[in-house]
């Protein structure tokens, strides 16, 4: 399980005195603990861990863009390092071609033919991709597919 792997890697980073990795994983573990408490479960499913990871990655990406605008290269480098650590735990993302194939299947299944159906298509595509696709990319591909139909 992904949660167990994060715990093991945190201990290894602490032993190796890898400050960046241990601090990043410690913060991630705290976020995961909050979700465990919120959901009132003993262990999180991998899908829940991936959701927390994606949220943390998005926060790092937003921070990087803000720090770049402010000219704080030192903070950009720190956030980039944390981002790399977090991305290492995500499952490999689907390619655009794989996502397009799923979208085409969903559109034919649902009979979607206009932008009004975007919510329905997005929901079905997200279920089929199971967190292995970038939602922004999925949204763009769904929009272009619905505009062509």
* pLDDT given at position 65: 93
CA 67 – CA 59 distance, rounded (Å)? 12
Phi and psi, residue 61, nearest 5° = -65, -40
The rounded mean pLDDT for the chain is: 86
Q: Are residues 76 and 136 in the same domain?
A: no
More confident residue, 61 or 137: 61
Share of the chain above pLDDT 90, in %: 39
CA 3 – CA 48 distance, rounded (Å)? 10
Q: Are residues 103 and 79 in the same domain?
A: no
Q: Are residues 13 and 77 in the same domain?
A: yes
pTM: 0.68
Q: Are residues 68 and 125 in the same domain?
A: no
What CATH code is carried by the domain that includes residue 13?
1.10.1510.10
pLDDT tens per residue, range 108-124: 888 877 778 788 888 88
pLDDT tens per residue, range 11-67: 999 999 999 999 999 999 999 999 999 989 888 887 788 888 889 989 999 999 999
Q: Are residues 75 and 123 in the same domain?
A: no
Q: Is the separation of the CB atoms in 13 and 97 below 8 Å?
A: no
Into how many domains does the chain fold? 2
């Amino acid at each position: 399980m992904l949660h167990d792997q994060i715990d093991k890697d945190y201990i290894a980073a602490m032993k190796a005195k890898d400050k960046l990795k241990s601090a990043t994983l410690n913060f991630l573990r705290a976020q995961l603990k909050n979700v465990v408490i919120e959901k009132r479960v003993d262990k999180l499913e991998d899908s829940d861990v991936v959701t927390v990871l994606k949220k943390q990655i998005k926060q790092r990406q937003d921070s990087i863009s803000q720090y770049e605008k402010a000219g704080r290269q030192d903070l950009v480098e720190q956030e980039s390092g944390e981002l790399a650590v977090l991305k290492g735990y995500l499952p490999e993302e689907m390619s655009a071609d794989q996502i397009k194939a799923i979208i085409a299947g969903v559109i034919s299944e649902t009979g979607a033919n206009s932008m009004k159906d975007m919510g329905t298509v997005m929901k079905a595509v997200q279920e089929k991709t199971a967190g292995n696709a970038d939602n922004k990319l999925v949204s763009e591909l769904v929009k272009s597919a619905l505009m062509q139909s």
